[in-house]
Structure 1
């Protein structure tokens, strides 16, 4: 082990211990550890197409630039299907939904959030932001303005996820699903309904995978990929990517 690597390990260990000491709730320091990335490649900074989209949507989303770039890249990799449903669960004010619409304009887009409907809120470790009723009108207005020069192929679902009647009413297969809510039970129940409708080669992105405050969700994703025929990738931006085989 080089001196540099030893120093980095010490710094990472200290920062992990520091967070553990000041956090409201404890976490497993073996599974969750602060770390410096080995690769600093940051292609989103020089990608002009992505930056043009990001400039328009950044005020309408809580998702980081790096995560949005991963979402942008993954969506581009299913664009060859040219049909199917793009489903986003946890749309807030429509920022990430607009990104998906820009990459996959020919597909039907469904944006789903509770938008003020009662949910079981969690304050574990960090204070989470939940969509309120007024965010729905913001999302609708933003999507209309964003797609001003193209037909609006977007539907909004204002309900607590999952809802079997709504999912069963969707005609066609899912090509891309962005799951960006924090409830492990919603993931477990929702995937029972969504997985049969996800096409082979379709992509499911879990936006909260690996987050220090979402260990329950991460565990459920890990169990799911062990039991199903899929390819799984952990994005270093903090997303779990499931590709159906």
Structure 2
């Protein structure tokens, strides 16, 4: 029952080339920075990443992207990362863009064992009809377009079929966690982290504060330990290392 691994490099050691990863966070908020850096040092390549976005050029998943370690991204936002855009438009990176709410539900569905569901989001667009560029060729033409998806009408309204997402591994960050893997996320860090954790077959959680079993109020637990296989406690310096994408101050 004790799932604690103190060494981040040991926690990610078995992530192999070509593995699929669900990664929590939104922008730089709630990203598993320590686990991402450990994975960068580990050297796995050809990774298939499912995440809302891909960090920024020098933080988060942007570190793996700049090193050429990511082969495919399923996400909903490309902005804030120039290297992401460059690799996508030059044909170096395959990208499946998904409406943000649909991405969240696909992760949740995968974690709940639901193979697919129908949603009205995307009906009448290339999301449903196909043709979104998944991969560009070097000359700028579309080398791999998205396929058309099945649609059905419910209550007089068309819906598109979307599939649940499961991945080989998930990397997430939590505010507090116990040795059994029960996790609590703080404020906006409760973004894609619980959903990504549910979707991973092996979920690795870095936690800012490790507590003993029984210390967490069961009613306050956001993600039960059944979804988590490894817990990596952060040092105070690692827990405090939080960046802001765009800092603004009053004139």
- The TM-score by the shorter chain falls in which range? 0.3 to 0.5
The structure whose residues are more often strand, as a share, is 2
Higher helix share: 1
Higher relative contact order (CA 8 A, sep 6+): 2
